[in-house]
Structure 1
Amino acid sequence: MKLLKRLALVLVALLAIVAFGLIIWEPLSVSQAVPPSLRQYEARIVRDNFGVPHIFGKTDADVAYGVAYAHAEDDFATLQEVTAMTRGRMATLNGEAGAPIDYVAALLDVDGTVKRKYDDLPKDVRAVLDGYASGLNSYADEHSEEVMLSKLFPINGRDIASGFVLRSPFFFGLDGPIEALSNNQPLKREGGPSLSVPVESPTVHPLSEDKIVTPVGTDPDENGSNGYAIVPDRSSDGKTRLISNSHQPLRGNVAWYELVVHSEEGWDFAGANFPGSPFPFLGHNKFLGWTNTVNRPDLIDIYKLTLNEKKNAYRFDGEWLPLEKKRIWLKIKYGPFVIPYPKMAYRSVHGPVILNDSGGYALRYAGMDQLDMLTQYYRINKARNFEEWQAAMAGQGVPATNFIYADASGNIGMFYNAMFPDRAPGFDWRTILPGDTSKAVWQNSLPFTRVPALINPRSGYVMNSNNTPYVAAGPGDELNRSTFSPLMGIEDDETNRSRRSIQLLEAAIASGKKIGEADIRRIKYDTAYVQAGYAKDWLDKIAALDLKDDPQLVKAQKLLGNWDWNLDGKGAADALALMVLRPANKSHYQRDKLPDPRKILQETVDHLTQYFGKIDPPMLKVLRLRQGKVDLPIDGGNDTIRASTLWNVEDDGRLSVRHGDSFIMFIDWDKAGKVHSRSIQPFGSATTRPDSPHYTDQMQLFVDKKLKPVWFDPAELEKNKASEKRVGSASRTAK
């Protein structure tokens, strides 16, 4: 009996040791980031009366330091998530939900790309990245009680670069084939009509229990945005106009953060960035500006490998090449424990490889194994004219996204920017490609001169709302489709927003009057659907249903039949239309088959009846903008120009918007070439700081469709500043 007790005590002790080891194993196994070499930074952070930070510094690196510090003051939690993601520690921070992101980072060899390419970046770009990293380090040192994960800091410029490498390809849909191949689902290809490519036999990937979570933190199949630029001759007051209306998640690691920067080295810019970036991604300087919308050309190719019996080699150009493999450890938090979970990441000459029961599949995608997007963003921030801006764009670092451009000289343009693979003819690039020949493996991108672009068209405007680039300037100014190779995979899609935008712009032109501030605001905040395209087809299907066995559905069908095609919240059928149109839009955007219309109508009727007691409640009681204790009605839908794209269904049945209109900016240059801008955000500058006065202070303006001034001119800022502080430290910056 004593022996059994001793054994039991020994077993308990061993379990305690193992448990303690698992608790401390992860931080002990983490390699500390290389401390930066000593350098002094100093920045001045001036906040206006909406809490927007204006960062001043002697050098661009000083400003980048201040950008990071100011952002950490407002949202250190999200910045830590981004940092954990770039260092392969999301699963340690957030548990199982973060494991797929850590796996994808290893699969794409993010660390390898940075090791190979970082030292080739221009010295001034590296200085800005290191300055930004040092700003985060300083904030973490001074606020250690807020740090959520041991050894997360210090970081350096390489860590910042890693974030760009990891997130960039997911804006053009790389998660789609990764998830499909991992779970043996049909592949949906981008660019042009839908094509479903099945993988041969069913299999379950070891990570199939974990949904692949995109590192961009949103569903790329429902990304959106609107952008407009108008020449002075089309404006009633002779101004060049640029409207930036990005649709992003309202919270998280790709939620917009507004800022203004001023450096004595000539970096002056007002706009917004994502957590983890030193550069604004859109906005304006004194001379020019741009905005972005998501585009979806075919930038991803998939190859079927011919594997040997042991699956450790593949045939390529008549030879057997070893399949590269690397063991990775996903460090997953379960309660107080961090459990190491082993996985293998594979790679071929094509790119990352996913193995399943059907074999091996290699991925090759635009922008793979490069860091040039960092240089491009920095250079376009500092461009002083159209020629400099185009020269920076020609560097082709940003793999995909439309750029809508305007400047003080009255130039406008829409660039369907993408790093189009230079594909060889003779292959069906929209199917799974043979992996055994180098003839199917492209090496370069087409030059920037091949990018579809419309510059200073006769219509006097350019626009994009995630639609085909050919119609960016309206009827009569279309690009000639035949001049672009089908191998580029340029999309043919239209959205309701694109149809409606062109309809409204053309109506203004046809009326003979010029477009003024009030006109462009009405267009931007429009909530109507065009009675065409997928929306009409979908509602026609609902109208054709035989519903005589269900009086409630008949009533809903009749309400939708009399709907005024406007989600302004005034019509009796608006709530019904809002909810039944979303699945149709999702299927259209994903180029997928439509769901069962009766099922969708039934689910909508059941929801409205359960939570609101009737099928025709006012839409503004259903659709809400919520943050903390503030709860406001909001209009628009998931494919209206005023976008309320995605929502969470709350416990009270109301729909709380989480994605859609986010950072909005109206920019113009007057006849003298001076820039003015106004902006708005859904919540405020401090979205994760409930105690901040800027947690919700823009919400009422946002739902009222109003804008606030951007005090870009430092002299004007002085009249409207709320606070000022200097930050700096003897930080360390990577060589």
Structure 2
Amino acid sequence: MAKTTPAETGGGTGPERRPGSRRRRFVVAAVLVLLALNVLAAGGVLWLRTSVPTVAGTVDGLAGLTKPASVTRDSRGVLYITAESPEDASFALGFAHAQDRLWQMEMTRRIGSGRLAEVVGEAGLPVDRMLRTLGLYRLAEANLDRLSPAARAHVEAYAAGVNGYLDTRSGALPPEFVLLGHSPEPWRPADTLVWGRLMSLQLAGNWFGEILRARMLKAGLTRADLDILWAERPQPPRAGADAASPAVDPDGAFALLDAGRLDRIAAALPEVLAPRLASNVWILDGSRTPTGKPVLAGDPHLGFTDPGLWSLARIEAPGYRRVGAFVPGVPFLLLGHNGRIAWSMTTTTSDTQDLFVEKLDPDDPGRYLTPDGSAAFATRTETLRAGDRTLELTVRATRHGPVVSDVMESAADAAAAGTVLALASPVLMADDDTAEALFRMGEATGADDFVAALRGFHAPQQNVAFADVDGRLGIVSAGRVPVRVGDGFLPSQGWTGTQDWRGWLPFEALPKLRDPASGAIVNANNRVWPSEQDRFFGREPDAPYRADRIAERLADADGSVEAMAALQRDTRSGYARDLVPVLLPLVAGRAPDKATRAALTLLRLWDGDMAAGRPEPVIFAAWTAALHERLLADDLGGLLRGYHRIRAATLLRILLHEPGWCDDRRTATIENCADIVAGSLSEAMAAMTRRFGEDVAKWRWGDAHQAVFEHRIWSRLPVIGGFLQRRAVTGGGDYTVSRGSWTWGDSERPVFPHNHGASYRAVYDLADLERSRFAAALGASGNLFSPYFGSWQGDWTAGRSFTIPADPDDDTARLSLRP
């Protein structure tokens, strides 16, 4: 009989037992750690949920509030504010905005003031350097002193409301603050005004284009090439290569710029200032509506962000009503109605910014040359902070504006180059009165008052459309437009004076239209000025596809609110209807596989509708993206991504009139357009079949094309960021009324991320403004723990809209504010 060991009987503590014991102890310890982490996580989540503000009850002792006011949130989180004075209403709006969008407001003022790095660290320094150089916050502070007493009272009351919330809040700050270990400072009135300066730069970003075009010329392209790359609509080649060049040739300035230096300047341009240009607006007068009164429809197009830009609210005080889209941080109504008049805006796409190449004084590079001799730079010192680091930034300015090239090079580097670049822009004028104009637009009781208010709307230039309850309507391209020699398409000479601005175009000379005989006004960023005035307004109006489609639909529309809301959802692409018939003959007999033949059959029968449930938009988008790459990559190289947008007129002009562009200069073979078009189709089909399968009829545009809302923090987090990033299946394309602009070249889902479009839609019924309809992306709150975090998204994604009537559909979330 064999002897039994302690290990076999389960007794004893010999060495044979230790490995299992260690494993058990490790498992037990791991389980305990996981349980502890879960408990901590659960506790952390519970604590973070205390960041959701109290929206019912009473808050007493609010400094700056003169009489009681109330903030009610309806079932969607739309704000209903009532107060006994307009100023107290703005106080309540500031309080509510701070409750819903504190992190968004903090980021906006930090970016605008050039203090982002104090929150996010070194990564924020490039933004801070540029914003301090531009001096937006200093300009905002100067604007405060220019406001009328009435407008200033609203700005100050709003700031008091924000601070009233900061002083009385309890619990955790919103999660973004917690993650970064940051607490907000009190709100200042200038924090409100800097938003307008920042948005103005984003809506008038021509200087980005000037640098890109200068880099293209340095890379070997010609002026005639730029004519094609920025073609407005398909047309034959112009007679003479320089027919569209400015009257004064800027080659004297261009010759002084080094390609590498231009590259470095381009790399230093912050993404937060990149152009974001688009929107739709149209109006029908009473002769074309069922009610006999105008209907106005508007949907501004901007880059999609999380939180969204807009806050929807209805504000009531004696003699004061504001209903529509506000921006967190600002008390003035941006888009909406005041009970008497409704308005919306589109970007004019005019050129109101110029980069001036300034020659340095060869005898003293600390000075620069002017037509009157050598001049000293205006200088100031800015102190930047990032964590424990403190940096001193010397900001220089010339007679044209701030020296933006100093952001990426030292004064010694600039002296070696012999030049600097200065930016001239109406946005950078100290006497800008746009904030005052926004206030006065809200005060207007009719069309004449409204137009008078627009005289002070200085920057950015916008097409401001309006209609009033008396049946009047109009549109004014309001804003400061420089009178210049040439068109500002490329950097200008700063030292000769020949390309200096000669002042501003008079308000009376700006494009405008009042009460047209046709009974309709339409603008979708298309040209609003005669071609002979290009030297004033620039060369970059959008292709007229959206405007044409709106006019086409309005021709037989019944003019009802419902019909106008349906038109805002239209996804028919005139661009596709123009381009597909050009592409198909070039691939005749070049469809070797079943999937490609099926795709071409679908396109032949397609009406251009880029609805989310259709397969044809997938084929069209993939084909045009591949074609764009093949046509331009050999000419633009690394600059193609900066050019990025697939421009309808450029592709059509090349295929119809400029076959030389179809040859790929990187190959020994001379390709024709049929070769390039067929090759791009093969490339597109291969990529899409890998992604969506061989059965082309089952492809869906909504699987490839989804709205992606970028959050400055959550979208950058590994693993968890993908779960927190908000997306929505959408239709449309770059040239559809329901704007679905997308980027390509991203290997992650979706294939064609929809990143620019209508984040807000509204239709205003001037017969009864209570019947006006609204929709906005995402939700009322930016706090991911709030019940209002995604409260609008379902309606926005489905194309539905809702009213904001006098009384909310739910008044249980009612907060009383008391002095």
Secondary structure of the equivalent of 2:298? strand
Paired position in structure 1 for 2:78 = 52
Output the amino acid matched with 2:305.
Answer: R
Which residue is 1:529 aligned to?
573
The AA in structure 2 aligned to 1:505 is: L
Match of residue 158 from structure 1: 190
2:481 aligned partner, one-letter code: F
Deviations 1:644-689 (A, max 9, x none): 223696844465544312111111022xx66531111222212x32
Structure 2: how far apart are the matches of 1:566 and 1:51?
34
Instruction: Using the TM superposition, give the Cα deviation of residue 491 of structure 1 relative to its aligned residue in structure 2, in angstroms.
Output: 5.3
Residues 307-328 of structure 1: CA deviation (Å, up to 9, x unaligned):
1235311121332101234444
Distance 1:507 1:561, change over 3 A: same
Residue 682 in structure 1 maps to residue 682 in structure 2: no
Residue among 603, 613, 624 paired with 2:693: 613
Tell whether the 8 Å contact from 1:82 to 1:253 is kept in structure 2 after alignment: no
CA distance in 1, matches of 2:747, 2:488: 43
Provide the rounded CA distance (Å) in 1 between the counterparts of 2:110 and 2:680.
39
Amino acid corresponding to residue 191 of structure 2 in structure 1 = D
Distance in 2, matches of 1:184 and 1:684, equals 42
Structure 1 residues 705 and 451, CA gap change in structure 2 (3 angstroms): same
Structure 2 vs 1, CA of residues 201 and 612 (structure 1 numbering), >3 Å: closer, same or farther? Answer: same
Residue by residue over 1:492-517, the C-alpha shift from the partner in whole angstroms, topping out at 9 and shown as x without a partner, is: 54332112112222344xxxxx4334
Distance 1:325 1:269 in 2: 43
Q: 1:276 aligns with which of 318, 329, 333?
A: 329
The answer for the alignment partner of 1:496 in structure 2 is 545
Aligned position for 1:473 = none
Closer/same/farther in 2, CA of residues 301 and 192 from structure 1, 3 Å limit: farther
Q: 1:578 to 1:319 in 2, by over 3 A?
A: same
Identify the match of residue 623 of structure 1 among 699, 705, 729. Answer: 705
| Cα deviation digits, residues 336-364 of structure 1 (max 9, x gap) | x4544554432101111234547222221
Q: Which has the larger Rg?
A: 2
In the other structure, the counterpart of 1:565 is: 608
**How far does residue 565 in structure 1 lie from its aligned partner after superposition?**
1.0
Q: Which residue of 2 aligns with 1:73?
A: 99
2:559 corresponding residue in structure 1: 515
User: Does the 8 A contact of 2:207 with 2:354 survive in 1?
Assistant: no
Q: Classify 1:40/1:183 alpha carbon distance in 2 versus 1 (closer, same or farther; 3 Å).
A: farther
Residue 461 of structure 1 corresponds to 520
Structure 1: tracts of 5 or more residues without a match? 1-36, 471-479, 509-513, 730-735
Contact persistence 2:357–2:492 (CA under 8 A): yes
RMSD over aligned CA atoms reads 3.8
Could you list the per-position Cα deviations for residues 357-395 of structure 1 after superposition, in whole angstroms to 9, with x for gaps in the alignment?
Answer: 472222211243234111000110111111111111122
Partner of 2:739: 643
Which of 249, 261, 264 lines up with 2:303 in the alignment?
A: 249
Which residue pairs with 2:582 in the alignment?
A: 540
Partner of 1:421: 482
> Counterparts of 2:421 and 2:71 in 1: how far apart (Å)?
49
Structure 2 residue aligned with 1:16: none
Q: 1:709 Cα shift?
A: 1.5
Name the SS of the counterpart of 2:552 in structure 1: helix
Distance 2:130 2:88 in 1: 33
Q: Is 1:93 aligned with 2:173?
A: no
Cα deviation, residue 191, structure 1: 10
Aligned residues: 659
> Comparing 52-61 with 599-608, which one deviates more in the overlay?
599-608
Structure-to-structure mapping, 1:362-377, within 5 angstroms: 362-369=422-429, 370-377=431-438
Q: Following the alignment from structure 1 to structure 2, what is the Cα–Cα distance between the partners of residues 580 and 346?
A: 47
The amino acid that maps onto 2:507 is: F
Task: Report the residue type matching 2:736 in the other structure.
Answer: T
Output the CA distance in 1 between the equivalents of 2:142 and 2:613: 57
* Higher helix proportion (structure 1 or 2): 2
Distance 1:354 1:643, change over 3 A: closer
CA distance 1:354–1:212, shift in 2 (3 Å) = closer
Partner of 1:64: 90
Q: Which residue of 1 aligns with 2:804?
A: 710
Letter in 1 for 2:194: S
Q: Secondary structure at the match of 2:615?
A: coil
Tell me: CA distance 1:381–1:215, structure 2 relative to 1, closer, same or farther (3 Å).
Answer: farther
For 2:400, the aligned partner's letter is H
Q: Per-residue deviation at 1:129?
A: 1.6
* CA pair 689-82 structure 1, distance change in 2 beyond 3 A: same
Distance apart, 1:459 and its partner CA: 1.3
- The one of 524, 545, 554 equivalent to 1:505 is 554
Instruction: Name the stretch that deviates more: 198-207 or 447-456.
Output: 198-207
Q: Cα gap change, 1:606/1:124 in structure 2, threshold over 3 Å: closer, same or farther?
A: farther
Q: Report the residue type matching 1:666 in the other structure.
A: V
Cα separation, 2, equivalents of 1:682 and 1:85: 23
> What's the TM-score, normalizing by structure 2?
0.72
Q: Is the 8 A contact 1:408 1:675 kept in 2?
A: no
Q: Distance in 1 between matches of 2:542 and 2:818?
A: 49
| SS, match of residue 155 in structure 2 | helix
Matches within 5 A, 1:589-600: none
CA contact (8 A) 2:463 2:476 kept: yes
What does the per-residue CA deviation read over 1:53-99, in whole Å, with 9 as the maximum and x for residues that have no partner?
12222333322222222122222221111121133211232345533
Task: For residues 238-297 of structure 1, give each alpha carbon's deviation from its aligned partner in whole angstroms, at most 9, with x where no partner exists.
Answer: 232011211223324772221222233x33111112232221211111110111111111
Q: Which has the higher strand share?
A: 1
Q: Alpha carbons of 1:390 and 1:112: their partners in 2 closer, same or farther (altered >3 Å)?
A: same
* SS of alignment partner, residue 306 of structure 1: strand
Change in Cα spacing, 1:460 to 1:184, as seen in structure 2 (3 Å) is closer
State whether residues 182 and 208 of structure 1, in contact with CA within 8 Å, keep that contact through their aligned partners in structure 2.
no
Q: 1:83 aligns with which of 109, 130, 134?
A: 109
1:614–1:399 CA distance, 2 compared to 1 (3 A): same
Contact kept, 8 Å, 1:568 with 1:635, in 2: the verdict is yes
Tell me the alpha carbon deviations over residues 143-199 of structure 1, each in whole angstroms, 9 at most, x when there is no partner. 584245657411311222223223312211155158659989879899996879856
Residues 207-216 or 412-421, more deviating: 207-216
- Pair 350,620 (structure 1): closer, same or farther in 2 beyond 3 Å: closer
Aligned to 2:756: 659
- Contact 2:561/2:772 (<8 A) preserved: no
1:312 aligned counterpart, secondary structure: strand
Q: Which residue number corresponds to residue 17 of structure 1?
A: none
5 Å-filtered alignment, 1:219-234, equals 219-220=274-275, 223-234=277-288
Are the structure 2 counterparts of residues 191 and 633 from structure 1 closer, same or farther at C-alpha, using a change threshold of 3 Å?
closer
Q: Which residue of 2 aligns with 1:201?
A: 258
State how far apart, in whole Å, the 2-side matches of 1:634 and 1:465 are: 20
Per-residue deviation, 1:434: 2.7
Query: 1:235-246 alignment to 2 at 5 Å?
Result: 235-246=289-300
Q: 1:538 to 1:71 in 2, by over 3 A?
A: farther
User: Which residue type is aligned with residue 422 of structure 2?
Assistant: A
Match of 2:148 in 1: 122
Distance 1:157 1:492 in 2: 35
CA distance in 2 between counterparts of 1:93 and 1:589 reads: 41
Partner of 2:338: 285
Distance in 2 (CA, whole Å) between partners of 1:620 and 1:253 is: 22
TM-superposed deviation, 1:122: 1.3
Q: Aligned partners of 2:478, 2:290: CA distance in 1, in Å?
A: 30
Partner of 2:269: 212
Percentage of identical aligned residues? 20
Determine helix, strand or coil for the equivalent of 1:159. Answer: helix
CA contact (8 A) 1:354 1:361 kept: yes
Pairing 1:106-121 to 2, within 5 Å after superposition: 106-121=132-147
Counterparts of 1:326-475 in structure 2 under 5 Å? 326-332=380-386, 337-341=387-391, 343-355=393-405, 357=417, 359-369=419-429, 370-423=431-484, 429-438=488-497, 440-442=499-501, 444-469=503-528
Alpha-carbon distance in 2 for matches of 1:112, 1:132 = 20
Change in Cα spacing, 1:547 to 1:401, as seen in structure 2 (3 Å) is farther
Q: In the TM superposition, what is the alpha-carbon distance from 1:468 to its structure 2 partner?
A: 1.0
Structure 1 CA distance for aligned equivalents of residues 370 and 515 of structure 2: 48
